[in-house]
Structure 1
Amino acid sequence: MTGKLEKILLVDDSGADNYYHQMIIEKAKVCKAISSYSQASDALDTISDAIKKGQRLPDLIFLDINMPVIDGWEFLERYEAIVPQDSRHPVIIILSTSVNPIDHERAESHASVTAYCSKPLSADKLQGIVEDYFS
């Protein structure tokens, strides 16, 4: 797989997780650019700026749900408020360590969430996501 996607966005308060997941994505060579954010507000600012400038949004967003200040659920609410419905093309994958069934149900019922995936991201999981949603 080489460069099927233009951009992947990682949103996770864990720098170590972002680093590890970025290494997995880079090694798989599935995209041209990767951005990672440890604060959801910074990721939302980047998305908002891209919309204002008419730039392409990320193809894929990996989103942690358990983050301080703005958690993944609030990120989704704000994302839906700033991104017009017809521009919501990014695949959003919840990437979390939570095994709480309520989190899984909430993710499945959320219109913007494509899937729920347990951390850590692996090469096999990434390949499955790219094949399932971008082929």
Structure 2
Amino acid sequence: MTAAEPKYKEVHIVDDNDVDTYIAQHLLEEIGVASKISISTNGAQALEYLKTLGNQQPDVIFLDIRMPIMGGFEFLEHYSEFLQGKTTCPVIYMLTSSSDPFDVDKAMAYPMVKKYFSKPISRQIIFGII
């Protein structure tokens, strides 16, 4: 895969931690995974942004659990409702500092959540996805 031929049209990062967001964005850009990388700092902001896209949703969303205003689980509830009847459904990867088995089980109960990763993101995680 080259930077001229990214696998994904858009990857969206939802995380309130500036350092984690920077690392994720930098690695995704360096590897050339997507034509566009967009960022939201909480679930409410992400939901607002994603609603503006209509049927042209990102291919992948990296989602944190614990964020101010609207956390990852609340986002998943609202986003699931929004996606009903849509033709596209992004793959969501949980990327969080929580290793609580309850959080893992709860996240994996959502059909759109493909996998649960511990922060920080790494090249190994990205290459495992692409």
How does the TM-score come out when normalised to structure 1? 0.88
Deviation at 1:57, TM superposition (A): 0.7
Give the aligned length: 127
- Contact 2:89–2:112 (CA<8 Å) still a contact in 1? no
The amino acid of 1:68's aligned partner reads: P
Q: CA RMSD in A?
A: 1.3
- Contact 1:48–1:83 (CA<8 Å) still a contact in 2? no
1:93 corresponds to 2:93: yes
Structure 1 runs of 4+ off > 6 angstroms?
none
1:13 corresponds to 2:13: no
Deviation at 1:88, TM superposition (A): 4.4
1:37 corresponds to 2:40: yes
Deviation at 1:109, TM superposition (A): 1.5
The amino acid of 1:58's aligned partner reads: P
- Aligned-partner Cα distance in 2 for 1:95–1:5: 18
Please list, as runs of the form range in 1=range in 2, the aligned pairs for 1:1-135 lying within 5 A after superposition. 1-2=1-2, 3-51=6-54, 54=55, 56-130=56-130
Deviation at 1:43, TM superposition (A): 1.1
Percent identical residues? 36
Gaps of 5+ in 1: 131-135
How does the TM-score come out when normalised to structure 2? 0.92
Gaps of 5+ in 2: none
